[in-house]
Amino acid sequence: MDITNRINFSLVLLLAILAIFIASESFKDKKKASQRPLAVAMQKITPKANELKQIFSGSAGEEYQGTTVASAEPFSYINEERPIPLDNFKVKNVFTKTKRGNWMAPPDGFFSALTNNYLIYREKLEITPELKTLLEHIHGNFVLDIVPFSMFSKFNRVFLMLFRTKQTYTTYTAKPSWSIATTDIDSQAVYIMENDDFEGNFVHELTHIYFDGFFMPSYSPLWLSEGFAVFMQTQAQTPAETRWIKKNTESFRAGEYIDFKEFLDVKSLKDYPKSDVVMWYAQAYSVVSFLLKDKSRDEFYQFCKNLKEGMPLGRALYRAYGMPFNTAEALEYAWQADLQRNIKTTKKAK
């Protein structure tokens, strides 16, 4: 046997030995796995269970309005209720802005329940299966309607606090008297009054969770945030419930609207009288509706994406919509022209 053949033979023998060794180790691993599948599974499950335990166990003690409140006792939110005390019913101010998912136990007078998409506290009334079904139905449809913005949202249960009395709502949220709902984006929490227009108002607040969440860690302009929230709200309302928008739109067509620069620059409506607040919301809805009108949502999404990336308003508009949208003044002019065009179209149709 010459030297070449000897080398080839040695290589073949070496490969054969290596193959036998690998097969032997693989068999040992399978045997070990078959002997302790439960232990291996528990190693994977336990961290997740601990994570869920941490997320859904009450832990308060945060600051609210500069006042530290006492920590709530540990509490399991799964199918638990805390009914109203029979005497001396008082609601304690334990509303906290805390890290997402780390919520206090429900205060006296509130029932609680956990669903696929919500942690719910409800004042005075039990959380019925019908209410849970309604809330899950709203969430499911809404997430589809707000694509692509909802695509960027990580799954977290929404903390939903339902109020039956205005006094309790105001005590918890410290919001102006005209407010009936509010949202804390950082903690994905919605605080809302239960009233006849609950579904529309709730969709409004859900919009803030997902649409404003798209801009995190920065924030969307208030007019854009509220305008899109009202736009989504109207999709869940009857014509009678949107009369206030129609009334204000007639004023806008007549040239009676909030100064456009002031309108765009508003950062908070807390100190505005209710009449101005209503007009401001209607104007925000009208401008956002115009940006969505006669266009695919691609342009609107691109506009929002541009703002998220830090572009100034004019450039963000131009990069999404093209000319003549390149300044705030151009947006105002085009919006007003569209309102006047709608008047002519309506008259012609008659």
Question: Would you state the pLDDT for residue 42?
Answer: 28
Statement: residue 330 has pLDDT above 80: yes
The region of weakest confidence among 85-99, 264-278, 302-316 is: 85-99
Instruction: Tell me the per-residue pLDDT of 24-33, one tens digit each, with 9 for 90 and over.
Output: 554 444 444 3
Look at residue 57 in the predicted model and tell me its pLDDT.
Answer: 27
Residue 189 Cα distances to 119, 202, 218, angstroms:
9, 12, 18
Report pLDDT for 23.
52
- Mean pLDDT, the chain, rounded, equals 75
Q: Domain boundaries in the chain?
A: 45-219, 240-350
Greater model confidence, 78 or 58: 78
**How far is CA 246 from each of CA 40, 260, 293, rounded to the nearest angstrom?**
63, 19, 16
Mean predicted confidence (pLDDT) in 7-31: 54
> Which of 116-125, 171-180, 249-258, 299-308 is predicted least confidently?
171-180
- The domain 45-219 is classified under which CATH number: 3.40.630, 1.10.260, 3.40.30, 3.40.1350? 3.40.30
Averaged pLDDT for residues 41-50: 32
pLDDT at 169: 93
Looking at residue 24, its pLDDT comes to 56
Tokens encoding 255: 């040239």
Indicate the pLDDT class of residue 338, thresholds 50, 70 and 90: very high
28 or 267, which is more confident? 267
What is the model's pLDDT at position 222? 96
Own/partner pairs, 252-258, CB within 8 angstroms, 24+ separation = 252/282, 252/283, 252/286, 252/336, 252/339, 253/339, 253/340, 253/342, 253/343, 255/336, 257/283, 258/283
Q: Which of 29-43, 45-59, 218-232 has maximum average pLDDT?
A: 218-232
Closest by Cα among 267, 253, 202 to 232: 202
What sign has the CA pseudo-torsion 303, 308, 311, 312?
positive
Higher pLDDT, 161 or 10: 161
Strands of the sheet containing 158-163, edge to edge, are 110-114, 118-123, 158-163, 189-193, 181-184
Q: pLDDT confidence of 106, banded at 50, 70, 90?
A: confident
